[in-house]
Structure formats: structure tokens, C-alpha cells
Amino acid sequence: MEKFILALTVLTLAAGCALAAPRDTALVAVFSKTGEQYNVGVIQEGNTMIVAKMIAAAIGADLFEIRPAKAYPESYDETTDVAKKELRAGARPELAEDKDIGAYDTVFLGYPIWWGEMPMAVFTFLESHDWKGKTVIPFATHEGSGMGRTQESLRKTLPDATILSGLAVRGAVAQNERAQAQQAVTEWLAKLGL
């Protein structure tokens, strides 16, 4: 019996040490859309998700997909209509699931640019967490608007976080010119010192 208790104590201590080990400090949180997309047709993997996976692989970060509880339509035109209405209304769509960001010091935040802004579901995610002391590094896919107004929106929405300069990649490049997108990601991460 004493040997069993000793073995159990050793296992418990070992488990405690494992739990006390440092957790990952970087997260890539991304909103991305599949289906019919401007300038790339019908896609199975979203433009922004492609870039997100490149970033996560390069820095060894966890990856979390921001998804609304009610999916956007497959049609590009229908999606833009919904996105426009949500933007005008300042909507905060319910999310399918959430991610505890407490263990992360740095969050790479990815999204497509919709009408010069982040999709409203991204605001839902942002407003659901405490960002005090965290570093947020945005990246976006677009078809001509770069980062849009999102750097300013992030500073306004997350006043207690440090917001670094973002990366903007054309959606068509992410989807069809992956080596070029990878080079842009690699150079951007190097500028960030990662």
C-alpha cells in the first residue's frame, strides 16, 4: 500500500509539473469565409484562413476560427447584402463558439475587409474579452482596400491593448499565388522580429 501511495504521489507531482509548464503565448484568431468570393470564384478554403495557417505554422501558434452561429450565405452578392446591413446596424452576431484568450500574450487577428471594416462577428469576438496588456497583430485579405479602417477600429475597440501594424494580402494572391502570399507573411513576421 505504501508503494502505491508513493507512486500515486509521484504521478500527482509529475502531473502538477506538467500543468505548471508555460502555455503557448500566441494565438491566431481568424474569421474567414468560403463559398463564392469576389475575384476568386467559389472556394473551399477562405482567403484569410490560408494566410492564418501560414502565420500559425511559422510561429507555432494555436489557431482559432471565429465563426458566426448563423453562417453567411454561399452567394457573394447575398453575403455582401448581409454584411452591409450588419455594418449599418452595428450588429454583433452571435458566435458558434468562443476561445479563452487568457493564456495568450499575443493575438494575431485575421479577417477579410468588408466595406472597409472587419466583419461584425470579429467585433463580437473582440468585445467578449479583456485585452488589457495584450498585443494584437492584425492581418487582412482584401481586393484593393488594404487594411481599410481596421487599424483605427482596433485602437478604438481595444484601448488597453497594444496594436501593431498589420499585413494586408489580396485575396486573389492568397488563393492563387500562395508562394507570393507566403513571402509576404515571412517578410512581415521578420519585420515584427518573429
Task: Decide if 139 contacts 113 (C-beta within 8 A).
Answer: no
Q: How far apart are CA 49 and CA 37, in angstroms?
A: 13
- What mean pLDDT do residues 79-90 have? 95
Looking at residue 3, what is its pLDDT? 38
98-127 pLDDT, tens digit per residue, is 999 999 999 999 999 999 999 999 999 999
Domain range 24-191, CATH class: alpha beta
Looking at residue 7, what is its pLDDT? 36
> From residue 27, how far is each of 62, 99, 115, 134 by CA, in Å?
5, 10, 26, 11
